[in-house]
Amino acid sequence: MKSAVLHFPGINRERDMARALRHISGREPAMVWHADTELPAGTDLVVIPGGFSYGDYLRCGAIAARAPIMQAVRAFAQKGGLVLAVCNGFQIACEAGLLPGVLMRNAQLRFICRDVYLRVERSDTAFTRGYNAGQVIRVPVAHGEGNYIADGETIARLEGEGRVVFRYSSPDGMVDPNWNHNGALNAIAGIINERGNVLGMMPHPENHVEVAMGRTDGRGLFAGLVDHFQKAA
């Protein structure tokens, strides 16, 4: 699996993401600068990592969505290329029109960093094939604006088409306001686009990939992607 990690100024989890990809795919990802206009030839997976692109001084992700490299990412996604967008990456993907909806400030109006539980809603996507449907994983969040919302019609479509792939839940998989730390509508933590090749999610699977660090629940996502490309090859 040949991955490319986008690097916008102000992004700060690009190293975490690169390390997770290196550990699990065994291959060093390419780091792609925001001012570039092309992705490296043969890219399988584009990753938009977390951070504070351009300081998040406008709306989160709004400036990055208009960076030169995003033209190439849109074209890549249109051709069916896989795009993994995490945290600020999810915000960027929404601003760039790759995914519907928007991430608002957390309901409590505070930045929150803690481990959360996610119920994996589907295992039949390239991103979630490493998990079982209904499985609960534990991964960290670290964001101030992760409160997902979209208009009623969009939400109905997302739910109807099974495009909500991760939902905040209790440790035993129940959706419960007490376990929805940011107030996201329908406890939505991650969604895919219509075609299923773009995933946006707020939590950080890349921070839970090593036994030595305590938890490895995030590995499944990357291992599933590696598997996806091996099967395809």
Partner 1 sequence: MASNDPPITPELIAEHGLTPDEYAHIVKLIGREPSFTELGIFSAMWNEHCSYKSSKIHLRTLPTKAPWVIQGPGENAGVIDIGDGLAVVFKMESHNHPSYIEPYQGAATGVGGILRDVFTMGARPIACLNALSFGDPGHPKTRHVVAGVVAGVGGYGNSFGVPTVGGEVRFHRRYDGNCLVNAMAVGIAEKDKIFYSAASGVGMPIVYLGSKTGRDGIHGASMASAEFGADAEEKRPTVQVGDPFSEKLLLEACLEIMAEGCVIAIQDMGAAGLTCSAVEMGAKGDLGVTLDLDKVPCRETGMSAYEMMLSESQERMLMVLKPEKEKLAESIFRKWGLDFAVIGETTPSKRFLIRHGSTVMADLPIKELGDEAPVYERPFAQSVKLPVIDAVSVKPPMSMADALEKLIGSPDLCAKRWVFEQYDHVILGNTVQRPGGDAAVVRINDGPKALALTADVTPRYCEADPFEGGKQAVAEAYRNLSAVGSQPLALTDNLNFGNPERREIMGQLVGCIQGIGAAARALDFPIVSGNVSLYNETNGRAILPTPTIGGVGVLDDFTKSMTLAFKAEGESILLVGATEGWLGQSLYLREVCGREEGAPPPVDLAAERRNAEFIRMLIRDGLATAVHDISDGGILVALAEMTMASRIGAVLESPAAIAAHAFWFGEDQARFVVTAKNAEAILDRAGTAGVAVARLGATGGSVLAIAGERPLVVSDLLARFEAWLPAYMAGAD
Just list the catalytic residues.
Answer: 87, 204, 206
Nearer to partner 1, 33 or 176 (CB): 33
Cβ atoms within 10 A of the Cβ of 162, count?
13
Footprint of partner 1 on 21-80 (CB under 8 A):
51-52, 54-57
Judged by CB under 8 A, the residue of 61, 81, 101, 140 near partner 1 is 140
Judged by CB under 8 A, the residue of 99, 193, 207, 222 near partner 1 is 207
Interface segment toward partner 1; rule CB under 8 A; list 74-82, 111-119, 126-134, 183-191: 111-119
Instruction: Extract the tokens encoding 43.
Output: 């890219």
Footprint of partner 1 on 151-190 (CB under 8 A):
none
Nearer to partner 1, 15 or 162 (CB): 15
Judged by CB under 8 A, the residue of 102, 112, 185, 223 near partner 1 is 112
Nearer to partner 1, 66 or 157 (CB): 66
Nearer to partner 1, 9 or 173 (CB): 9
